[in-house]
Amino acid sequence: MHVPAALAAHLEGEVTSLCHCWRLTRGDGMVMGFTDHDQEVFCDGTTFTPETGLSASEARRSLGLVVDTVDVEGALSALDIEEADILAGVYDGATVETLLVNWQDAGQFARLRRAVIGQIARRDGRFVAELESPERALDQTNGRTLRRGCDAELGDERCGVDLEAGGFKGNGVLDAVKGNSIVVSGLDTFETGWFTNGIVTWASGASAGRRERVAAHRKGVDGVVLDLWRDTAATVAPGDALTVVAGCDKRFSTCKAKFANSANFRGFPHLPGDDAAYGYVTEEQTFDGGPLVE
């Protein structure tokens, strides 16, 4: 950590006027500033606001490649961090810079650390963000891994499925919200399970553009029901329009039968599992050198 000479001189004085500032940069490029000082601080091109009541836990810095963490806690505010945005994953993977600032002369500051939000939770009107050091990236899987299931996302360049054709997308209108589930009209022609593991995108209302994963698609007494992976993160109301794309469970059989896309399957369906050593030949099997997958 580099400490400018002016700030170093201030630190050596008998009385100091220091505060912490946190600059949060979301994945969409939005920059937000927070401070534990009781007044607004403008430093390094960012305005840091005090209204959040932000405070930090004890921090540490380890030698080597150990992943260090520090928690930052503050109040949920409609003007700053909203609960709906936390639920929607807006802050997942955001970067946070921690600055030590002389609030009497904000030109004197030092950058203590740069971290990534690993987990952010909310409870009782407050949020707690866990900041992980850059060494966290060393724990992430890079490149491809060999597994039976496909590792492409349905409709992306590697998958190649055209979601605009073949009845893979449906348009509906929200009728009601019931806990983790939403009741939708306009999707009656699709068979049960068609949208399981699919993506809902809100097309109108307060959460237009938000996306949510579908855990299950079924037909209930009141109409078509979509169970979401988590509590409805988006702020929605009856009458909001939505689109939903078909789901894929990443299996070769689904890729072939549902999407006719076996040529682009990005997994290894015949990869031996832990039970391979216990397998044995049966008379129903064919060993003629032909392809296992067509």
Q: Residue 184's domain spans which residues?
A: 169-245
pLDDT of 200 reads 93
- Maximum average pLDDT range among 48-57, 150-159, 222-231: 150-159
pTM: 0.60
- The residue with tokens 């209108």 is 173
**CB-based contact 73:52 (threshold 8 Å):** no
Q: Is the residue at 262 inside a domain?
A: no
Q: Is the residue at 251 inside a domain?
A: no
Q: Which two tokens stand for residue 17?
A: 């006027």
**Is residue 256 classed exposed, middle or buried when 0-12, 13-18 and 19+ CB atoms within 10 A define those classes?**
middle
Same domain for 132 and 209, yes or no, is: no
**CB-based contact 88:73 (threshold 8 Å):** no
Transcribe 109-138 into DSSP letters.
EEEEEEEEEEEEEEETTEEEEEEE-GGGGG
Q: DSSP label at 153? A: P
Same domain for 29 and 109, yes or no, is: yes
Whether the predicted pLDDT of 54 surpasses 60: no
Query: Which of 138, 172, 17, 16 lies closest to 67, judged by CA?
Result: 138
pLDDT of 41 reads 92
Whether the predicted pLDDT of 76 surpasses 60: no
pLDDT of 264 reads 93
Pairwise pLDDT comparison (230 vs 260), residue with the higher score: 260
**DSSP β-ladder status, 55-56 and 46-48:** unpaired
Same domain for 131 and 9, yes or no, is: yes
- The residue with tokens 């939505």 is 242
Same domain for 27 and 72, yes or no, is: yes
CA distance 51 to 48: 9
* Segment 119-128 long-range contacts (CB within 8 Å, at least 24 positions apart): 120/86, 120/91, 120/92, 121/86, 122/76, 122/83, 122/86, 122/87, 125/75, 125/76, 126/73, 126/74, 126/75, 126/76, 127/73, 127/74, 127/75, 127/76, 127/81, 127/83, 127/86, 128/71, 128/72, 128/73
- Write the pLDDT tens digit of every residue in 275-290: 767 777 777 777 777 7
Q: Is the residue at 290 inside a domain?
A: no
Same domain for 114 and 222, yes or no, is: no
* Segment 270-275 long-range contacts (CB within 8 Å, at least 24 positions apart): 270/148, 271/146, 271/147, 271/148, 273/148
Q: Is the residue at 69 inside a domain?
A: yes
Same domain for 21 and 128, yes or no, is: yes
- Write the pLDDT tens digit of every residue in 242-259: 999 999 999 999 999 999
Q: Is the residue at 156 inside a domain?
A: no
Q: Is the residue at 263 inside a domain?
A: no
Mean pLDDT score, 41-69 = 64
Q: Which among 114, 136, 158 is the end of a domain?
A: 136
Q: Which among 245, 263, 282 is the end of a domain?
A: 245
Mean pLDDT score, 173-196 = 92
Q: Is 9 helix (H, G, I), strand (E, B) or coil?
A: helix
Whether the predicted pLDDT of 77 surpasses 60: no
**CB-based contact 228:211 (threshold 8 Å):** no
Mean pLDDT score, 70-82 = 58
Q: Average pLDDT over the chain, rounded to whole?
A: 82
Q: Is the residue at 278 inside a domain?
A: no
**DSSP β-ladder status, 224-228 and 181-185:** antiparallel
Number of domains in the chain: 2
CATH code for position 237: 2.40.30
Same domain for 57 and 111, yes or no, is: yes
Mean pLDDT score, 257-268 = 92
Q: Which among 245, 261, 284 is the end of a domain?
A: 245
Same domain for 216 and 111, yes or no, is: no
- Write the pLDDT tens digit of every residue in 2-35: 888 999 999 999 999 999 898 889 888 889 888 8
CATH code for position 53: 2.40.10
